[in-house]
Structure formats: structure tokens, C-alpha cells
Amino acid sequence: MRIITYNVNGVRAAIKKGFIDWLGTDPADVICMQEIKANKEDVDTGLIEQLGYETFWFPAQKKGYSGVAIFSKIKPDQVSYGNGIMQSDFEGRVIRADYGDTTLINAYFPSGTSGEERQGYKYQWLDEFFDYLGQLRQSRPKLIVCGDYNICHKPIDIHNPVSNKNSSGFLPDERAWMDKFFQNGFVDSFRHLNPDPHHYTWWSLRANARNNNKGWRIDYINVTEPLKSNIKAATIYPMIKHSDHCPVYLELGI
């Protein structure tokens, strides 16, 4: 199974920048998108379906905000919309697809950059999501959890860890949550195969950050330990430019 996670920063905007042409190159079997900022009826899905993808959408209730979607060439056995937590589901943050005994979770973690209230919600959401995954793993131990986590885990994952030490996305409590996450049986698929620095998935639109590769690695495809030996390839595609993020790829034998 070839999987891509991609914060498209508005799927309609991405389509105007060649997103569907890129889908036509067969980049993956399953495309997990975050921040779609659209409902299914806002997009001509016929063009996407012609490429062999079935589309599953979980938009936010608020128009033009947040939302997640899965485009899949492999028919899932079941798709679940939301994680049953009211505010998270109102904001369209989690969609789940089951493929045999493997479960794929596509999640858009909240950002805390707009102020203390949203930073507080981010911590609440992280705790709720951790509990949700823990309960799910009891019956579905083979999990893939992909998406925009809005957190850099280690100094290697951010271009300037010193100047960003007080920035949302690299705060000690956020990074401690990532420590807990990985200590509880999840594997960072990209780092499993790529220990070297200077790999990022998001760049500020200011100061020519992308061309200078001054970025953050905040998008992940992480798997539970039972899938660790199935990791075949893990790559980041910084040259794909439909968004301020770029796609992250995982090839998994399942």
C-alpha cells in the first residue's frame, strides 16, 4: 500500500495549481488530505474518480475551514467519519478507513498559533486523541496515523530550534506529547529510514523560506509497532508545490 499525507491548504486552491494533474501521475494508492476547506459538492469529483480514486470527505461544519478527506484506489472495508468527540468532529479533524486488519487514521491536529485559547484546545485535543487511539488499538492493533500533526518532535525537525523554542508547534509540552506517543508503540516511519537533517514538510510564506529550505517537519505517517517491519519506503516531496506544505509518502507492505 502506497500512502501520501498532504495538507493541501484548500483543495480548490490546490486544484488550481495542478493538483489533479499530479494525481494523474499515480503518486499513491491512498491520498490523505488535511485542511481541505471544502465540501464534496464544491469540487468536480468526476475528474478524480476518472483517475481511479473513490473519495471520502469529512469537512468542518464551518465553511472554508479545516476538514479532512481520503482519496483511495483501494476500496476500504469501512470508513468512519469523526472520532466521536464533539468539537473535534465539528471541526472535521479525523477520518478513519479500514483495510483488512489495518486501520488508517487521517487527522488534522489543531494549530495553536492564533493564541492561548486555541493552544489550550490543542492540548485538550491531543489528550483526547491519544485516548481515542488507545481504545482503538485494543481491537485494531495495526494502525497508520497520518496527517498534519502541527508539531515538530525534535530539533532536527525544525530549521532553527533555538529561535522557535517558544513557538506553537515546538513547545516543550507539545514535544513531550510526541515523546509519549512514540514511547507508546508508534513508529516515526520517515525517521525509521531517514535519520539525516534538513527534511521539512511546511515552510512559511515569508522570507523565501521554502527556496531556502527553512522549514518545519510537522506532517507524518506514523505506524504502530506491528507494522514497523512492513515499512518499505518513506519519503518527503518538497518539489510538489500546491500548498505551503508538501506531500509525505509511505510504502507499506500489508
Catalytic sites, residue numbers: 148
Between CA 7 and CA 184 the distance in angstroms is 25
Between CA 220 and CA 250 the distance in angstroms is 9
Q: How does strand 2-7 pair with strand 30-34?
A: parallel
Specify which residues 216 forms β-bridges with.
158, 202
Collapsed DSSP state (helix, strand, coil) of residue 67: coil
- Nearest CA among 31, 88, 95 for reference residue 61: 88
Taken as a whole, the chain contains a residue count of: 254
Q: Distance between the two ends of the chain, CA-based, in angstroms?
A: 7
Collapsed DSSP state (helix, strand, coil) of residue 129: helix
In angstroms, how far is CA 42 from the centroid of its own chain?
Answer: 22
Collapsed DSSP state (helix, strand, coil) of residue 137: helix
Q: How does strand 215-216 pair with strand 202-203?
A: antiparallel
What does each C-alpha distance from 220 to 108, 174, 249 come to in angstroms? 11, 15, 9
| CA pseudo-torsion sign 183, 185, 189, 195 | positive
